[in-house]
Amino acid sequence: MKALFILICSCFSWLTLWTQDTLSQPQLPRNSYQCNGYVKSLQTLTITTGKDVSSLNLIHNRLNFRWLSPSAWEARAEVRNRFFFGEQVARIPGFASQLDQQSGLVRLSKLWGTGTGTIAHSSLERAYVRYSTELWDIRLGRQRINWGISNLWNVNDIFNTYNFLDFDFEERAGADALRIQYVFKNQSSIEYAIKLSTGKNQTVTAALYKWNTAQFDIQCLAGLYHTDLVAGVGWAGRVGSLGWKGESSLFRPLRIGGDSKAAWLITTMIDRTIGDHWYLSAGALYQSDPPLETSVNTGISSSTLSPRAIFPFPFSSYLSASWQSGGPASAQCAVVFAPEGKTWLFLPFVTWNAGNSFDVDLVAQILQSQRQNIRISYSGWYLRTRWSF
CB burial readout 272-300, b (16+ within 10 A) else e: eeeeeeebebbbbbbbeebbeeeebbbbb
Which tens digit of pLDDT belongs to each residue from 339-351? 988 899 898 989 9
DSSP sequence for 52-109: EEEEEEEEEEEEEEEEE-SSSEEEEEEEEEEEEESHHHHHSTTHHHHHT---SSS--E
Domain boundaries, the chain: 2-22+29-388
| pLDDT mean over 316-320 | 96
Higher pLDDT, 292 or 172: 172
Cα–Cα distances in angstroms (integers) from residue 160 to residues 117, 147, 155, 197, 307, in the given order: 30, 9, 11, 12, 9
Q: How much is the pTM?
A: 0.85
Phi, psi of 10 (to 5 degrees): -70, -15
User: Does 284 score more than 80 pLDDT?
Assistant: yes
By C-alpha distance, which of 82, 168, 61, 81 is closest to 388?
61
User: Residue 370 contacts by C-beta under 8 Å, 6 or more apart in sequence?
Assistant: 341, 342, 376
Phi, psi of 3 (to 5 degrees): -65, -35
Among 8-22, 103-117, 216-230, 361-375, which range has the highest average pLDDT?
A: 216-230
Which tens digit of pLDDT belongs to each residue from 145-158? 999 999 889 999 99
Note the helical H segments in the chain: 2-11, 87-91, 95-99
Decide: 179 and 138 in contact? Cβ < 8 Å.
yes
User: Residue 185 contacts by C-beta under 8 Å, 6 or more apart in sequence?
Assistant: none
DSSP sequence for 327-339: SSEEEEEEEEEET
Among 100-104, 309-313, 385-389, which range has the highest average pLDDT?
A: 385-389
Fold of the domain built from segment(s) 2-22+29-388: Porin (2.40.160)
CA 236 to chain centre: 19
